[in-house]
């Protein structure tokens, strides 16, 4: 299908892909500082007197950033009635969809919206953890206005009879400056109390499904700053990450992990032949094909300090193929599967799963 946007816009998307996928870069602090200060000039705003570089995102950075407004955010409000805003609802908005289909989108999601960070999994309203802080920092990201910037860029190439306003032209200049700063290594910025705060962009490694993942090094890290360890999108402390990727955990330790996601990823990387070493290990029931080409099993084994043998339904997600071990008190696969949804086996029929 032929793209409904210009070749120039495609080149911009390709450029952003390369920036997002890079595994190394040289931070150009002086050039970045000058570029960001030009954005203040562009909107006739007073330049901050002080410049502070941070190695990575911190709680203080988030707290201060929440008390200020980014130049782009303020300008987007002022330009809400511009022609390019109307244009964003047209077919040409598909240029941002094209980017979402690229391999770089995984890194983009993590570096901008950080939707792959596990912040949404925290139960409390606020937890001072690296993942939560990074998620909260999304509004300061150089990627935050990506869709609007690309749409504005396409509009400037092909306005389709609509008027190009001064706001459109100004935002176009602003976007080009931010993209250049991103290219030079800027990840986040905001101004607070006459001080411009800047943070480099992190290096982000993802798996084939776009989740933060690396078995060799931190999946997300800042040079000289914070390092975040992930496996299949699951955040882990370095000690646990190291034990899992080096297969240093005994089966008893793996199945004793309270956190379901941690247990799943630990099992994924465990040598399955270790299972036979579990005390009283048994396969109580087995289904060769669950209707989607995957087997199901009920396994039982004993672990220290637990009086009764543990039972797990070993199954696979039909849409992602991810393997799960779900705790159960049932002896058959069908009973355990139904119970995992809150039903008895004779109360539910699985017609379609995804």
pLDDT, residue 206, reads: 84
Bridge-based pairing state of the strands 186-192 and 203-204: unpaired
Ramachandran bin of 224, using left for φ above 0, alpha for ψ from -120 to 50, beta for the remaining angles: left
Of 100 and 198, which is predicted with more confidence? 198
Q: pLDDT (tens digit, 9 = 90+) per residue, 204-247? A: 888 888 788 999 999 989 988 999 999 999 999 999 999 999 99
What angle, rounded to 10 degrees, do the helices at 7-21 and 166-183 form? Answer: 30
H runs (alpha helix) in the chain: 7-21, 29-42, 59-65, 71-78, 83-87, 94-100, 105-111, 130-136, 146-157, 166-183, 238-245, 251-255, 260-269, 333-339
Q: pLDDT (tens digit, 9 = 90+) per residue, 289-327? A: 999 999 999 999 887 767 788 888 999 999 888 888 888
pLDDT, residue 249, reads: 94
Tell me the CB-side half-sphere exposure of residue 307, using CA atoms within 13 A: 0
| Structure tokens given for 117 | 């960070």
Q: pLDDT (tens digit, 9 = 90+) per residue, 141-199? A: 666 667 777 888 888 888 888 888 888 888 889 889 999 999 999 988 888 888 999 99
Q: pLDDT (tens digit, 9 = 90+) per residue, 243-258? A: 999 999 998 888 888 8
Q: pLDDT (tens digit, 9 = 90+) per residue, 260-273? A: 899 989 988 998 77
pLDDT, residue 130, reads: 30
pTM strictly above 0.85: no
pLDDT, residue 144, reads: 61
What angle, rounded to 10 degrees, do the helices at 29-42 and 166-183 form? Answer: 170
Of 129 and 1, which is predicted with more confidence? 1
What angle, rounded to 10 degrees, do the helices at 146-157 and 166-183 form? Answer: 120
Alpha carbon separation from 115 to 91, 220, 250 (Å, rounded): 26, 14, 32
């Amino acid at each position: 299908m032929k793209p409904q946007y210009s070749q120039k816009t495609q080149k911009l998307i390709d450029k952003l892909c390369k920036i997002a996928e890079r595994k190394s870069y040289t931070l150009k602090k002086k050039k970045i500082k000058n570029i960001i200060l030009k954005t203040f000039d562009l909107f006739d705003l007073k330049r901050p007197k002080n410049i502070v570089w941070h190695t990575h995102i911190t709680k203080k950075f988030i707290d201060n950033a929440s008390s200020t407004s980014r130049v782009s955010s303020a300008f987007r409000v002022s330009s809400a009635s511009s022609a390019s805003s109307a244009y964003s609802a047209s077919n040409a908005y598909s240029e941002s969809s094209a980017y979402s289909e690229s391999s770089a989108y995984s890194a983009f999601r993590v570096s901008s919206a950080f939707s792959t960070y596990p912040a949404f999994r925290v139960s409390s309203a606020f937890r001072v953890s690296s993942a939560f802080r990074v998620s909260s920092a999304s509004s300061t990201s150089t990627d935050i206005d990506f869709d609007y910037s690309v749409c504005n860029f396409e509009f400037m190439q092909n306005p389709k009879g609509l008027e190009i306003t001064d706001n459109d032209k100004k935002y176009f200049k602003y976007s080009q400056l931010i993209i250049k700063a991103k290219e030079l290594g800027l990840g986040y910025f905001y101004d607070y109390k006459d001080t411009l705060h800047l943070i480099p962009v992190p290096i982000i490694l993802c798996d084939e499904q776009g989740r933060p993942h690396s078995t060799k090094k931190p999946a997300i890290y800042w040079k000289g700053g914070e390092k975040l360890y992930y496996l299949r999108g699951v955040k882990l402390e370095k000690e646990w990450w190291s034990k899992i990727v080096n297969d240093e955990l005994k089966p008893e330790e793996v199945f004793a992990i309270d956190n379901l996601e941690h247990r799943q990823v630990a099992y994924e990387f465990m040598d399955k032949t270790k299972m036979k070493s579990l005390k009283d290990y048994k396969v109580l029931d087995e289904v060769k094909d669950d209707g989607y080409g995957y087997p199901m099993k009920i396994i039982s084994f004993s672990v220290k300090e637990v009086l009764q043998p543990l039972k797990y339904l070993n199954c696979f997600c039909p849409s992602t193929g991810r393997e799960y071990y779900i705790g159960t008190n049932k002896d058959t696969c069908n009973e355990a599967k139904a119970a995992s949804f809150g039903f008895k086996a004779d109360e539910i029929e699985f017609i379609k799963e995804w």
